[in-house]
Amino acid sequence: MRTPEATDRVQLVFSLFDADGNGCLEADDFDLMGERVVAAAPKADDAAKDALLASLRRYWTTLLAELDANGDGRISPEEFEACVLSPERFEATIDEFARALSAIGDPEGDGFVDRPDFVALMTAIGFRRANIEALFEAFGPVAGDRIPVEVWAEGIRDYYRPEKAGIAGDHLTADGGGR
């Protein structure tokens, strides 16, 4: 089953991951996205940054292997939408990305992501401020205005689950969601 919300979420991710804005996903987009995200996490250590970059490279190679239907080495919006039809092929890749992104938001390693670190990373990816703040609130920040790393990681996994609707991640697509 695939919800309209899941389609909206996937379309938003495509528009943001097309970091150079040329209408297709290519390896360069993921390099550019990696640079942006790492630059937004100046307190993170090299291991966390390397893990994030590796997860983005895997994201790209998985897309290329699974979705490049016409074999041109790029992923079109139509090709990308097919990812919600076979989520099991992306589960491990998304899990690695979810763990790497949430971890880079916790440079102190205390198990929590502070709101400013969350906002900086999500802004670097390209989400809008109002959507980012709404998502953070939906994650239920605890004392000190922070959220558990694992709550964010699970929120990322949920975001890609085609059967999901009414989840925290749907705050990202409200009113178009992108830049």
Q: Does 20 bind Ca ion (CB under 5 A)?
A: yes
Q: Does 70 bind Ca ion (CB under 5 A)?
A: yes
Stretch that binds Ca ion, among 19-27, 43-51, 105-113, 152-160 (CB under 5 A): 19-27
**How far is residue 87's CA from residue 51's CA, in Å, rounded to a whole number?**
22
Q: Are strands 146-148 and 112-114 parallel, antiparallel or unpaired?
A: antiparallel
Q: Cα angle vertex 57, ends 43, 66, to 5°?
A: 145
Shortest Å, Cβ 20 to Ca ion: 5
The answer to whether 47 touches 76, Cβ cutoff 8 Å, is no
Shortest Å, Cβ 64 to Ca ion: 8
105 versus 126: smaller Cβ distance to Ca ion: 126
**3 state SS of 68:** coil
**How far is residue 159's CA from residue 153's CA, in Å, rounded to a whole number?**
10
Q: Does 22 bind Ca ion (CB under 5 A)?
A: yes
Q: Quick one: tokens of 157?
A: 């996994």
Which positions from 71 through 90 interact with Ca ion, judged by CB under 5 A?
72, 74
Q: Does 29 bind Ca ion (CB under 5 A)?
A: yes
Q: Quick one: tokens of 152?
A: 């964010």
Stretch that binds Ca ion, among 17-25, 88-96, 149-157, 158-166 (CB under 5 A): 17-25
Contact string (CB under 5 A) for Ca ion, positions 111-150, x = contact: ----------------------------------------
73 versus 176: smaller Cβ distance to Ca ion: 73
The closest alpha carbon to 14, from 69, 82, 72, 71, belongs to 82
Q: Does 18 bind Ca ion (CB under 5 A)?
A: yes
**How far is residue 57's CA from residue 176's CA, in Å, rounded to a whole number?**
27
Shortest Å, Cβ 79 to Ca ion: 5
Residue 162, Cβ neighbours under 10 Å: how many?
A: 18
Interaction site with Ca ion (CB under 5 A):
18, 20, 22, 29, 68, 70, 72, 74
